[in-house]
């Protein structure tokens, strides 16, 4: 069976409104998916929502609603934002899906039969916000070492996944599989942790007396499974009922996550797959965090950046561009609207927007013929970049890709200043004028192809104004000019002054 490219995002908790952090992973995954589709690859891009657990149960109780009623309202907010952000996900999984639940229960049964799940008594400190247990020694000033919130002392019998059994196998796997955990700094972090600490077994149940909002353990109805255990399984379960069945999707090619959930993915999920004797995903990529003037974004600080407001004020593509151009994917970044404005004015309005406007107005004014004799080096520049794209996307180097596209945009603007088409026109150098304007037209067409995964609406507008008649797939990722100027149309500026 043919193997497709399978890309996932985390499943978002539905207890708060989506913000820029969630939008970040979505946009990155969307750009990857669009790129691979443009290479004529079969792509399955999955996102969704994480709907069980204590937090949801508590939030619903506060509103006097059932968990399901509470969640249904929230899920819509995520879905609406993804539409506004032009996210082209092929599937949306909800952990409350009946099919997901059945698959989780099958997996629990398999691991229980295998002896990899055992019942033990347990005492620990529980952080509701992070949905995880800590040991006394891990606490910081009596609070959760991760989020600083209060923790509750809990003593109870629970079921454990024997994660520690797989520690050596996991270390070996990570050491021998470059690219499994990316970027390198995160891989080293996980290896450092595994090499210096003995892994505990993972508590994967909660008694229903304390938490009823979850998936029941198939071998003990008094318990539900731990929210992370069921949520991680989504990546695999979706391939059984949401993804098209005629293509093989597992193992996933890219799990995109934030750095805060690296342990759950690189340790919990990897060992769960090892226990199930399933192949591990090709890459788990942990991106950094957006902060606001250096501060963590949080409701209580009142500094949460709402993507909807930014999209409405600027436009969706400039938001997508900013997220992936401003910061190296993998590192933390600081969000400020001044920086956003500066990227908008310089890169988008001045460099790209003006290039299109100038080229179209010169073609309209001078009516040159379409002449492709002398590409003046643009053919080499563009073919070189097409050749590099696969490698750069494979390493999720989004800002480098954009930088390289902009090198060509800048080179085209300089070319206009050097060639001075207005003088060629004045001096009656018609052939040269035709060559120069054809080159600029072809540069813009290729840019609209390369930039499409990042800025789909803008590229559609560029193509429409250029009157490009060939479908993008015909371009076949190389400089191959065979168009004409007949379909050129006037259009509104791509990035109007704000």
Shortest distance, position 263 Cβ to ligand MSP, whole Å: 11
Comparison of 10 and 124: residue with beta carbon closer to ligand MSP = 10
Cβ proximity of 147 and 127 under 8 Å: yes
**H-helix or E-strand spanning residue 24:** helix 20-38
User: By C-beta, is 262 or 443 nearer to ligand MSP?
Assistant: 262
- Residue 24 or residue 213: which is nearer to ligand MSP going by CB? 24
Residue nearest ligand MSP, CB atom distance: 258
If the CB atoms of residues 65 and 297 are measured against ligand MSP, the closer one turns out to be 297
Task: Report residue 199 as tokens.
Answer: 């892994």
Find all residues with CB under 8 Å of 61, minimum gap 6, and list them: none
Query: Closest separation between CB of residue 69 and ligand MSP, Å?
Result: 20
| Nearest to ligand MSP of 162, 297 (CB atom) | 297
User: What is the number of residues in the chain?
Assistant: 498
Minimum distance from CB of 380 to ligand MSP (Å)? 38
216: region left, alpha or beta (phi > 0 left; psi from -120 to 50 alpha)? beta
Structure tokens at 20: 């820029």
Grouping H, G, I as helix, E, B as strand and the rest as coil, residue 285 is strand
With contact defined as beta carbons under 8 Å apart, do 11 and 70 qualify?
no
Nearer to ligand MSP, 43 or 261 (CB): 261
Nearest to 408 by CA among 433, 374, 387, 383: 383
Dihedral-angle region of residue 373 (phi above 0 means left; psi in -120 to 50 means alpha; beta otherwise): alpha
Binding interface with ligand MSP (CB under 6 A)? 10-13, 21-22, 24-25, 50, 231-232, 234, 257-258, 260-261, 289-290, 297
Residue 186 Cβ, how far from ligand MSP at the closest point, in Å? Answer: 12
- Compute the least distance from the CB of residue 29 to ligand MSP, in Å: 11
Under 8 Å CB-to-CB from 421, ≥6 apart: which residues?
362, 366, 433, 436, 437
Other C-beta atoms within 10 Å of 481: how many? 18
Query: In the complex, what is the shortest distance from the CB of residue 231 to ligand MSP, in angstroms, rounded to a whole number?
Result: 4
Least distance (Å) between residue 303 CB and ligand MSP: 10
Task: Give 232 or 416: the residue with its C-beta nearer to ligand MSP.
Answer: 232
Q: How far apart are CB 454 and ligand MSP at their closest, in Å? A: 18
150: which DSSP letter?
Answer: B
Burial of 73 (0-12, 13-18, 19+ CB in 10 A): exposed
Angle made by CA atoms 213, 241, 36, in degrees to the nearest 5:
115
Q: Which CB sits closer to ligand MSP, 21 or 375? A: 21
């Amino acid at each position: 069976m043919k193997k497709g490219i399978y890309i996932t995002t985390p499943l978002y908790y539905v207890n708060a409104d989506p913000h820029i952090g969630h939008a970040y992973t979505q946009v990155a995954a969307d750009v990857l998916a669009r790129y691979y589709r443009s290479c004529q690859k079969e792509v399955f891009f999955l996102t969704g929502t994480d709907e069980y657990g204590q937090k949801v149960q508590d939030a619903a109780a506060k509103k006097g609603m059932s968990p399901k009623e509470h969640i249904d309202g929230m899920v819509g907010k995520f879905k609406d934002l993804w539409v506004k952000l032009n996210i082209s996900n092929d599937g949306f999984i909800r952990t409350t899906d009946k099919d997901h639940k059945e698959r989780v229960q099958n997996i629990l049964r398999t691991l229980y039969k295998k002896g990899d799940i055992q019942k033990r008594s347990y005492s620990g400190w529980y952080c509701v916000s992070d949905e995880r247990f800590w040991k006394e020694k891990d606490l910081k000033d009596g609070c959760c070492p991760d989020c600083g919130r209060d923790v509750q002392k809990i003593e109870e019998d629970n079921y454990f996944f024997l994660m520690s059994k797989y520690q050596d196998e996991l270390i070996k796997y990570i050491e021998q599989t470059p690219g499994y955990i990316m970027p390198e700094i995160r891989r080293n972090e996980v290896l450092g942790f595994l090499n210096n600490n003995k892994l505990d077994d993972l508590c994967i149940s909660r008694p229903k007396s304390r938490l009823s909002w979850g998936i029941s353990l198939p071998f003990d109805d008094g318990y539900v499974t731990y929210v992370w255990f069921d949520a991680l399984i989504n990546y695999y379960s979706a391939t059984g009922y949401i993804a098209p069945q005629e293509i093989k999707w597992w193992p996933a090619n890219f799990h995109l996550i934030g750095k805060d959930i690296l342990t759950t993915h690189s340790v919990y999920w990897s060992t769960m797959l090892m226990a199930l004797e399933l192949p591990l995903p090709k890459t788990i990529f942990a991106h950094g965090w957006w902060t606001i003037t250096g501060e963590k974004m949080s409701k209580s600080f009142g500094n949460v950046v709402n993507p909807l407001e930014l999209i409405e004020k600027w436009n969706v593509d400039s938001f997508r561009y900013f997220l992936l151009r401003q910061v190296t994917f993998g590192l933390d970044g600081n969000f400020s609207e001044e920086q956003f404005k500066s990227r908008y004015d310089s890169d988008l309005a001045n460099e790209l927007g003006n290039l299109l406007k100038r080229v179209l107005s010169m073609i309209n004014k001078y009516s040159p013929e379409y002449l492709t004799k002398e590409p003046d080096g643009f053919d080499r520049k563009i073919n070189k970049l097409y050749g590099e794209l696969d490698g750069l996307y494979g390493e999720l180097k989004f800002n480098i890709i954009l930088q390289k596209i902009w090198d060509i945009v800048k080179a085209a603007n300089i070319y206009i200043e050097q060639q001075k088409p207005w003088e060629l026109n004045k001096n009656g150098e018609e052939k040269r004028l035709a060559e120069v304007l054809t080159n600029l037209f072809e540069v813009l067409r290729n840019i609209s192809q390369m930039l499409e995964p990042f800025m789909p609406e803008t590229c559609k507008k560029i193509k429409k104004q250029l009157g490009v008649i060939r479908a993008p797939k015909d371009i076949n990722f190389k400089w191959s000019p065979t168009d004409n100027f007949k379909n050129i149309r006037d259009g509104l500026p791509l990035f109007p002054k704000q």
